[in-house]
Amino acid sequence: MAMRIVADTARLMGAERLLAIESAHIDGALYHGDSGTLFAETLVAGGAQVAVRATLNVGAIDLTGCSRNQLPEHEHAMATRMMQAYRQLGCEPTWTCAPYQAGHRPRLGSQVAWGESNAVAFCNSVLGARTNRYGDFLDIACAIAGRAPDYGLHRRDNRYATVVFDVSDLDEAFLMSDVAWPVLGNLYGRVIGNAVGVITGLRMRPWEDLLKAFGATAASSGSVALFHVAGTTPEAPDEATALGDRPPRERIRVTLEMVRDAQRRLSTAEAADRIDAVAIGSPHLSLEEFDALRARLRGRRLAVPLYACTGRHVLKVLERDGHRAELESSGVVIVADTCVVVTPILPEKPGAVLMTNSGKFAHYAPANTGYSVLYASLADCVESAVAGKPVVGGMR
Amino acid sequence: MTLQAEVLLPGSAVAATALALTAPISFWGGVNPRTAEIADVRHPEYGQRITGRVLLIPATIGSSSAAAILLELVHAGIAPAAVVLHEPDAILLLGLIVAREMGYPAPIALRLDAREFAALHGRRLTISGAGALATETG
């Protein structure tokens, strides 16, 4: 069945052949309804096993027990069965949307089949491994077959940028701040769609967590699977190389006005006078991001809960260093293996407002949680959680 | 009016009313898998139900879980009657490929230039298994 799915997809997308892959990241183990569980169990019943290294994206249940969800009994049971089925297929129980920070980093130029839109963007752009956007079902089918349809971003020719996204008019202090990269990502995703772009005009070199936030937001507002940053990402030592020495189809000069508009779009409750919760960690927080949270929090007690979503690879270190207990005693709810927009962790509350510094949470929270969203910096998120009401310091 | 669309994935002939989306959509986070309503508050067709419609999709964006939502809609019997895309999309259409593997009745998937979508919106269409798409008033 797995090979048939891979072959059907190859035909659908016009791929002439399949290629061997070295690894996979599987987004399919998140419960959306019984059909996904039944599909995974059909594969298990057929004796399928993954042929390559396959890490797992988030599930619907926090198996570490750090957080609780309100899934009804039937859904909870089916989601648990689904997570078990994917383990039985031989996938690694990483349960994170940031596998690239949990030790799964394919090498430059290698062919892989990755799912989860932010992981795809990171894998292609920051690591330089080659993957298309693998959706649920195709990701596991490719991992079992060890093969993927040869088209799209698996081919070098399709990886060159055709659009230049020039940010030279933006000031450096803004670009060094944590609000900047989700905002730029939202703008980039909307203007670029599914094209490949190269970001130019930076005087700073964005570090990994900024690129992670950029890619995640761009992949939610658009269908971005690969972006280049001239002078930073591996296939873009400079603008000309990223463009394959061809003239760009379009050159977008980003203005402060475009940035302000994108920032406004991330919030659906810009004038909110209340917040009911704060959520950070989409994609899952790295250790460095937890360090930043602890430095802002300084052991203070929170007035509203702050949900900090991460993977068990980070949780293990937080526990070892005593930071989990410290954070939880402040009122931080650590969420591992899952996150607050994929499973009902936030209490149901009419008219509730969620503050977040994640462009991806900002995008999906209104539809998936019913909370309206106020987008802000990490500093504002922490100060607001302490104060129990929105404290917005603006762009910084 | 009759248009010839390319069949991306085969399915039975249908007659249903067209719903043309006017903005790209992410099925995950954009369509509620239990009600089949468009759930993305920022989407222009927010609140519309896609069940039994000829769903015209200009582009897909966002999450790689779109196929899971579409499969769930098929499994629950609340899927669109047909899915029409401007260009083939492996993320969304996997839901229909897997539906067939699982023995669920999967709607036909077609490819048609998005410039045709606006004129079809709200019209009752008949679609043949070979991808001929006709408005019922002729």
pLDDT of residue A329: 97
Cβ–Cβ contacts within 10 Å for residue B28, how many?
Answer: 29
Residue of A nearest to B109 (CA): A12
Helical segments of chain A, H only: 2-13, 34-45, 73-88, 117-122, 138-145, 172-175, 180-192, 208-221, 239-242, 256-266, 287-297, 312-320, 323-330, 359-369, 378-387
Alpha-carbon distance A62 to A233, whole Å? 33
φ/ψ of A359, rounded to 5, equals -65, -30
Give A268 to chain B, closest Cα distance, Å.
9
Helical (H) or strand (E) element with A72: none
| A42:B102 CB<8 A | yes
Name the A residues in 219-248 with CB < 8 Å from any B CB.
219-223
Tokens standing for residue A147:
């093969």
Tens digits of residue pLDDT in A235-256: 999 999 999 999 999 999 999 9
A134: contact with B, CB 8 A cutoff? yes
Total domain count, chain B:
1
Tracing tokens 């959306």 back to the chain, one arrives at: A32
Tens digits of residue pLDDT in A72-87: 999 999 999 999 999 9
B7, B35, B65, B108: which to substitute to probe chain A, counting the most A Cβ within 10 Å?
B65
Give A-chain residues touching B28 at CB under 8 angstroms. Answer: 32
Residue B96 — very low, low, confident or very high, per pLDDT cuts 50/70/90? very high
Give B-chain residues touching A223 at CB under 8 angstroms. Answer: 24, 59-62
Name the A residues in 52-81 with CB < 8 Å from any B CB.
none
Percent of chain A with pLDDT over 70: 99
> Closest partner residue to B41 among A14, A194, A366, by Cβ?
A366
| B88:A134 CB<8 A | no
Residues 6+ apart with CB under 8 A from A27: A57, A115, A116, A119, A134, A135, A136, A139, B64, B65
Residue A285 — very low, low, confident or very high, per pLDDT cuts 50/70/90? very high
Tokens standing for residue A375:
């987008």
Tell me the CB-side half-sphere exposure of residue A28, using CA atoms within 13 A.
40
B7: contact with A, CB 8 A cutoff? no
| A223:B41 CB<8 A | no
Give B-chain residues touching A221 at CB under 8 angstroms. Answer: 61-62
φ/ψ of A145, rounded to 5, equals -75, -25
Alpha-carbon distance A350 to A135, whole Å? 33
Lowest mean pLDDT among A7-16, A190-199, A263-272, B55-64: B55-64
Residue A395 — very low, low, confident or very high, per pLDDT cuts 50/70/90? very low
Name the B residues in 93-112 with CB < 8 Å from any A CB.
93-95, 97-99, 101-102, 104
A38: contact with B, CB 8 A cutoff? yes
Structure letter (DSSP) for residue A389: S
pLDDT of B137 higher than 80: no
> Closest partner residue to A1 among B9, B61, B101, by Cβ?
B101
pLDDT of B63 higher than 90: no
pLDDT of residue A280: 98
Tens digits of residue pLDDT in A174-224: 999 989 999 999 999 999 988 999 999 999 999 999 999 999 999 999 889
Q: Which residues of B are tagged catalytic?
A: 63
pLDDT of A393 higher than 80: no
A348: contact with B, CB 8 A cutoff? no
Alpha-carbon distance A117 to B131, whole Å? 31
Tokens standing for residue A364:
């999906």
Give B-chain residues touching A138 at CB under 8 angstroms. Answer: 67, 90-91, 94
Cis before A93? omega within 30: no
Alpha-carbon distance B42 to B35, whole Å? 18
Beta-sheet pairing, A113-114 with A163-166: unpaired
Tens digits of residue pLDDT in B102-131: 999 999 999 999 999 999 999 999 999 999
Alpha-carbon distance A125 to A121, whole Å? 6
For range A96-105, the mean pLDDT: 98
Alpha-carbon distance A2 to A6, whole Å? 6
pLDDT of B138 higher than 50: no
Chain A to chain B, count of Cβ pairs less than 8 Å apart?
140
Structure letter (DSSP) for residue A206: -
> Closest partner residue to A133 among B8, B24, B91, by Cβ?
B91
Residues 6+ apart with CB under 8 A from A157: A244
pLDDT of A382 higher than 80: yes
Most distant pair of Cα atoms in chain B: their distance = 39
Packed helices A359-369 and A208-221: angle between N→C axes, nearest 10 degrees: 40
Sheet harboring A250-253: ordered strands across?
A227-229, A197-200, A163-166, A250-253
The domain of B109 spans: 2-135
> Closest partner residue to B59 among A4, A193, A268, by Cβ?
A193
Percent of chain A with pLDDT over 90: 95
pLDDT of residue A250: 97
Q: What is the mean pLDDT of chain A?
A: 96
B82: contact with A, CB 8 A cutoff? no
Cβ–Cβ contacts within 10 Å for residue A57, how many?
Answer: 31
CATH of residue B74: 3.50.30.10
